[in-house]
Amino acid sequence: MVQIKNLAQSLYPCSAPKLEQDMKLHFLQNVSVTCNDGSPAGYYMKESKGSRRWLLFLEGGWYCFNKQTCDSRYETMKNLMSSTKWPQTKRGILSPQPEENPHWWNANMVFISYCSSDVWSGASPKTNQSDYAFMGSLIVKEVVNELLTKGLQNAKVLLLAGSSAGGTGVLLNVDHVAEHLESEGHSGVQVRGVVDSGWFLDNKQYKLTDCLDTISCAPTEAIKRGIRFWGGLVPESCRQAHVGEEWNCFFGYKIYPTLKRPVFVVQWLFDEAQLTVDNVHLTGHSIHEGQWRYIQNLGQELRGTLGGVQAMFAPACLAHELITRTNWMDIQVKGTSLPRALHCWDRSLQNKLHVNGSHGLQKHKAAPARGCPLHLMDSCPWPHCNPSCPTIRDQLTGQEMSVMQFLKHMGFDVKKMAQQQGMDPSKLLGMLSNGS
């Protein structure tokens, strides 16, 4: 259990390192919109004078779904429920350095700290009867309201991005944000979304468990309980598609077809957070053949759900969160990096605007520019078969591992795998040693 907790702890603060001085904290002026414990919600902002591009980032960090799990979260992860000690970040797509962030470095950057524990969906204030407020969706709306007095009213593009629970939050809020801007008379702002590691599956767990805590509870059951507890809101078009079962809207492949705004999906094919809630724990021991098969099937299931997504970046790596990593430019799919893929997506949306004069409401496929792919997904079948995957570390020792060491550590049978792939074992061994 300790190892599982350590993994959970290591997954959520990925987006919470030190913040540099030039991102300034703003508490919301509307004090009725709060964190779980009633402390003021807020955001960090770095202005870029003269830029008409805005990047709003939703922080991730799991959730809680009843009084027991929220009490436990408040004891162990108070910084995700209260603004008294804010987590702070600026990396990857949030970096102001062109060499670290080639296409968005000079945008106005806004980091919205996660302190609502509701996957950015709630609209319930703290009352005498309830111990916690769940106001994630209202926090997003209120931040947008404040930014409209700080230059957002002149924006050309608003990119709503997020990682993990923040990525799911993008799916739930991107249309809300666009509709809110339109209702305020700013329909000229092109609203888009980038969903990083927030495309979860409502699949069957490897080992079924009782729904006692956030880490081991099946995602479907946790969200069903959570949406009632939070008073969670989902986009109207998705609500209508799933009347009475709005929990479906928290799963990417079910909400994506209902969205009106363009969304780019960044998703590891072997996401550590997904494996954790599916009760596959890669800790120190060789895994059983059943687990290995489950992991491979997970990659295939995920590929299947991404089939209809127009713009995506899906490497076959075992990891969680990408766009806030310092080395986010190093990962490639079929020779294309993520910043390059996002740039291609940007260009395709601009081209579409010129063609049909719309405000980017169409999600439909535009012909990509030559050498500018939008649909990037690894086809190799096991974790870390992509040579540009991030370094793997043994979770017990912290030692770096090569792909070959990692696969052996996981009980990978080269002969059997070669047989399944219809290959000569020595050829497969050579490929793995080279990391290809």
Closest CA to 119 of 68, 87, 70, 167: 167
Higher per-residue pLDDT: 227 or 1: 227
Q: Which of 83, 95, 116, 164 is catalytic?
A: 164
Q: Which of 176, 281, 320, 384 is catalytic?
A: 320
Q: Which of 118, 196, 271, 346 is catalytic?
A: 271
Architecture of domain 2-385: 3-Layer(aba) Sandwich (3.40)
Closest CA to 162 of 193, 202, 126: 193
- Using DSSP's 3-state secondary structure scheme, residue 156 falls into coil
Q: What does the alpha-carbon distance between residue 114 and residue 178 come to, in Å, rounded to a whole number?
A: 21
Per-residue confidence (pLDDT) for residue 216, from 0 to 100: 81
Q: What does the alpha-carbon distance between residue 310 and residue 364 come to, in Å, rounded to a whole number?
A: 7
**Position 358 pLDDT exceeds 80:** no
Per-residue confidence (pLDDT) for residue 11, from 0 to 100: 40
- Using DSSP's 3-state secondary structure scheme, residue 399 falls into coil
The reply to whether 176 belongs to the active site is no
Per-residue confidence (pLDDT) for residue 412, from 0 to 100: 64
**Position 4 pLDDT exceeds 50:** no
Closest CA to 267 of 280, 249, 252, 254: 252
Half-sphere exposure of 19 (CA within 13 A, CB side): 21
Q: What is the DSSP letter of 390?
A: P
The mean pLDDT value for 203-215 works out to 86
Q: What does the alpha-carbon distance between residue 56 and residue 232 come to, in Å, rounded to a whole number?
A: 21
For residue 166 the two structure tokens come to: 């923040």
Beta-carbon contacts of 429 under 8 Å, excluding residues fewer than 6 positions away, are: 404, 414
- Using DSSP's 3-state secondary structure scheme, residue 339 falls into helix
Higher per-residue pLDDT: 400 or 157: 157
Which pTM does this prediction carry? Answer: 0.87
The reply to whether 164 belongs to the active site is yes
Computed over every residue of the chain, the mean pLDDT equals 85
So where are the chain's domains?
2-385
